[in-house]
Amino acid sequence: MEVGDMECVFVHPKTNQLMALLTIIRDRDTRRADWIFYADRVIRLVVEHALNFLPVAVKEVNTPVDEATYSGLAFLNKIVGVSIIRGGEAMETALRSCCRNIRIGKILIQRDESTATPEYYYSKLPEDIHERHVLLLDPMLATGGSLLTATRVLLDSGVREEKIIAVTVIAAADGIRAVTEKHPLIRIVTAEVDEHLNEKKYILPGCGDFGDRYFGTEN
């Protein structure tokens, strides 16, 4: 099964702008201030791309010019962002800048470094989340364990699988397969797909630990 052939995976077009930004954030020598600036730009691009997959309906409006009308589109359903702490929190500002007054929930999942398995600790979600489309934020999709765990939390909260859009910066092919094989109706939106994981289950070539680089907690 080729990732590129999956109908539920949407990779941002490889524009020169995006590729230049990804090159900067993948570079281990990029200074932290620069890294955050360009990571924010990549996140904004992928969040905007993800919004294309929300349901819409035709809407006609009157313009200020000679009582002319314009037939456009309007988003149909309410949405909510849910960030997987901690990396997903780096994506919240971009989402808020695109979707005014959006509500954002939190799910705390930590990885056991000795086993590379996720541990679920906590969640804070809007009470009406079952009525909304969910943009699930996590910049790195490696093994898929964290995303699968977060998905289970959302499903247990009444969210329908087809209403979940996972928004990532870099996704490993193995992680994509793990998620889509168990939850084929989830859509995954990413800036780029990497093919490999190393022995520690980190994405190769990747960009390092996204949360550490963003929040300045690297060793």
Domain ranges of the chain: 3-215
pLDDT average per 10 residues of sequence, the chain (219 residues): 70 97 98 97 98 96 93 93 95 96 95 78 96 97 95 97 98 95 97 93 94 84
CA torsion sign, 185 to 82 to 9 to 170? negative
Task: Identify the pLDDT of residue 87.
Answer: 93
Give whole-number Cα distances, 170 to 32, 42, 66, in Å.
19, 10, 47
Task: Identify the pLDDT of residue 219.
Answer: 54
Task: Identify the pLDDT of residue 173.
Answer: 95
Which of 41, 44, 103, 209 is labelled catalytic? 209
**Residue 66 known to be catalytic:** no
Task: Identify the pLDDT of residue 158.
Answer: 97
**CA gap 44, 120 in Å, rounded:** 27
**Residue 180 known to be catalytic:** no
**Residue 115 known to be catalytic:** yes
pTM: 0.93
Task: Identify the pLDDT of residue 200.
Answer: 86
Task: Identify the pLDDT of residue 3.
Answer: 59
Which of 115, 128, 152, 217 is labelled catalytic? 115
Task: Tell me which amino acid residue 170 is.
Answer: I
**CA gap 140, 74 in Å, rounded:** 30
Task: Identify the pLDDT of residue 1.
Answer: 40
Which of 34, 112, 128, 212 is labelled catalytic? 212
Task: Identify the pLDDT of residue 177.
Answer: 95
**Residue 209 known to be catalytic:** yes
Task: Identify the pLDDT of residue 111.
Answer: 76
Which of 26, 96, 103, 111 is labelled catalytic? 111
CA torsion sign, 200 to 203 to 205 to 207? negative
CATH 3.40.50.2020 fits 3-215, yes or no: yes
**CA gap 100, 86 in Å, rounded:** 22
Task: Identify the pLDDT of residue 218.
Answer: 66
